[in-house]
Chain A
Amino acid sequence: MSKNGQNILLLLAVMVLVAYPLLTVRAAKVSPGQEPVAIFTGADGQVEGVIRQLAPDYQPWATPLLEPPSSEIESLLFALQAVLGAGFIGYYFGVRRERARQRAADGSSSAA
């Protein structure tokens, strides 16, 4: 199989892995008046519940210096982080591609 074909399959597999839980996991039904159970919360946060259960007396001895004032701002910062990374990767391959093209063009013109 060509590398391009393989890469497309790899991307599709990741999309399936991400989409599958979204389509299959359903929040537990609750009787009226009960708080609905949140799903797809962060594992990092759930751990806090386990710590409180294992060590009810534990007091965190430091708090974050800055906390995003809302979940929108938090998404903004996560998006910024992803954009910085993806932007650099895109830039890198753009440079590589252009350099290879330039080299191929120089090669053919000097041969002519």
Chain B
Amino acid sequence: MHIMEGFLPAEHALAWSAATLPFVALGLRAIKKKVREKPELKMLVGVSAAFTFVLSALKLPSVTGSCSHPTGTGLGAVLFGPLAMAPIATIVLLFQALLLAHGGLTTLGANVFSMGVVGPLVAYVLFRSGRFLRLPQGVTLFVAVTLADLSTYLTTSVQLALAFPDPTGGFAAALAKFAGIFALTQIPLAISEGLLTVLLFNVLAKHSAGELHDLGLPLVREGARS
């Protein structure tokens, strides 16, 4: 999902940066507010960031014969809300843009938008909907995070198709080409991210039940939510 440095026309790069900036600012405020209310949550913010560091460093092979990486931003969105991951994704993507030549400064806004805004938003909305419908928590979390990961890569495909429409087929044909590379490759990786997120959530439920409770995620026996 990293659009490489210089690979978005300047006006696109600027527009995505402008669209992303408010989310990063609001996300910082959301994290600060949560941590001020409950200082012990600071460590859990760190865990969410750390999970993103790990998952986005793992380039995994896919059935398409390509490699790509999960994002890890679904967990933090479920824990801290849809905005909190925007600043955290910015840190990770900045690290990769500056040291690894993955992504870039000109494309940082677009890349944060897909990984730190759209993905977390999808994860949060799906997870909350599943809880509202009283679906089993583990299944809900898995589906929410898996689809969030996919939505990040679809967003990248849309961003690229907007910038480079097909000379004959226009936006739709270009989207099919970019999504053909990104979305298909990503399916097994998104499933892996969903499974690993459920795994980490299980461990958190065991060791950090108090913090999860503070975040409005009381441990409920499946099907017996009060």
Contacts and interface: CB of A to CB of B under 8 A. Distances in A.
Contacts of B200: 89
Contacts of B167: 54
A104 interface: no
Interface in B185-202: 185-186, 188-189, 191-192, 195-196, 198-200, 202
Interface in A26-78: 39-44, 46-48, 50-51, 54-55, 58, 60-68, 74, 77-78
Interface stretch (B23-31, B59-67, B76-84, B120-128): B59-67
Counting contact residues on chain B (CB < 8 A from A), the size range is 35 or more
A60 B65 CA distance: 27
B104 interface: yes
A31 B177 CA distance: 28
Contact of A3 (B57, B181, B202): B202
B177 A50 contact: yes
Nearest to A20: B63
B5 A10 contact: no
A7 B9 CA distance: 45
Interface string B139-179: 00000000000000000000010001111000000100110
Contact of A13 (B3, B4, B92, B195): B195
Top-8 shortest CB links A-B: A85-B53, A60-B6, A85-B54, A62-B6, A64-B101, A88-B50, A82-B57, A81-B57
